[in-house]
Structure 1
Amino acid sequence: MTEKEKMLSGTLYNPANKELTREREVARKLCRQFNQSTETEKKLRVKILKELFQTENSSIWIEPSFKCDYGYNIKFGHKVFLNFDCVILDTCEVSLGDNVMIGPGVHIYTAQHPINPIERATWQETAAPVSIRDNVWLGGNTTICPGINIGEGSVIGAASVVTKDIPPGVVAAGNPCRVIRKVDEK
């Protein structure tokens, strides 16, 4: 099994592997080009994002600056908006549904390091996918931890740290993030 196959399967892998290092360099170059583009270069931005994410989906709107590890592990629904300064560490799949709104400074992580210090000293890591369903809004400066699923129609309050799955149709917030109420409750 290659290091990339290990990474995508969620088993321990070496992120310093040459193939993975090269792929991160490509993603960083594309992110840098995107982040240095101007607000009037919309066609250039769309072209860069299509290459970065390896998609033909043009209904993605991202405000610079944006950073990710690989890009190709991020799957977008239609009409997805990422505000300024978002970071997605996509060592595993990150799925963003339709009509997802992501506030400024949101970080989404799939990479995980071993808890055991002896294992961690090997500099190997694992990854767990993140799924954000349709019609979700993530408030600014929210952190989504590896392996999290956020249910359809939910709202995550600003500055939350999401460490457990969030069911559909709720407002959740805090550190750690917890359900406050249903979306349709006052």
Structure 2
Amino acid sequence: MIIGKIIKFIEAIKLKRLIRKLNVSGSNNNISSSIVIYYPERVSLGDYIYIGPNAEINGLGGVEIMNGVIIGPNLVLHSANHTFKNSKYIPYDETFDFRKVTIGENVWIGGNVIITPGSDIGEGCIVGAGCVISGTILPLSIVVGNPCRVIKSRDSEHYYKLKKENKIYLKEKLEKNLKPEINLNYKE
């Protein structure tokens, strides 16, 4: 029991040090202590962001995660790739192609998602578990699969009404101590 508390204490210190190295770190974020961020000085986080366990973010090419984003466990995010075109070696050389990744406001990313360099996930998107994201995802899209494909869009009127009312899940949870409700009658 004491060893567990010591380990949690050490993890909390390591996380605080990592967050101080970020280019921008918003407030009221809930980030798992198991996160790994390479090049944190090139990563910017907004407010009210949740990042689940075992996330790995490579910020070399730049990463911006905006307000209200919820990210499930085991995220892998890359913002740069080795250069192979006209490289000096095979399969690639020591140079990199930097391609910023942007995750818009209020995006919900499921578990085990891979985000490739240059991806731009629009505001309000829902990314299904296990997706591989590459390229631009238009705002309010709901995407699934590998490669990901849009299966529908969120209700824009409802989304923008909630946004105008500042109904951000993590904000509400932190400020009002919301508890999950189980809806057994959910129908799509």
Is the pair's TM-score, using the shorter chain for normalization, greater than 0.5? yes
For 2:94 and 2:20, the matched residues in 1 are separated by 29
1:137 to 90, 96, 108: 108
Deviations 1:13-58 (A, max 9, x none): xxxxxxxxxxxxxxxxxxxxxxx97445797366324322154634
Are the structure 2 counterparts of residues 83 and 43 from structure 1 closer, same or farther at C-alpha, using a change threshold of 3 Å? closer
Aligned residue for 1:101? Answer: 70
Unaligned runs of 5+ in 2: 157-187
8 A Cα contact 1:97 1:132, kept in partner: yes
Q: Percent identity at matched positions?
A: 28
Select the structure with the greater relative contact order (CA < 8 A; seq sep ≥ 6): 1
For 1:180 and 1:63, the matched residues in 2 are separated by 30
Give runs of ≥4 in structure 1 deviating > 6 Å.
none
Aligned residue for 1:148? Answer: 119
Are the structure 2 counterparts of residues 38 and 110 from structure 1 closer, same or farther at C-alpha, using a change threshold of 3 Å? same
Matched, 1:48 2:14: no
Matched, 1:82 2:55: no
Aligned residue for 2:139? Answer: 168
- Secondary structure at the aligned position of 1:72 is classed as helix
State the AA in 1 paired with 2:65.
L
For 1:134 and 1:184, the matched residues in 2 are separated by 16
For 1:118 and 1:56, the matched residues in 2 are separated by 36
8 A Cα contact 1:113 1:120, kept in partner: no
8 A Cα contact 1:50 1:58, kept in partner: no
For 1:136 and 1:120, the matched residues in 2 are separated by 39
1:65 to 34, 40, 64: 34
Aligned residue for 1:12? Answer: none
Are the structure 2 counterparts of residues 55 and 44 from structure 1 closer, same or farther at C-alpha, using a change threshold of 3 Å? farther
For 1:151 and 1:84, the matched residues in 2 are separated by 23
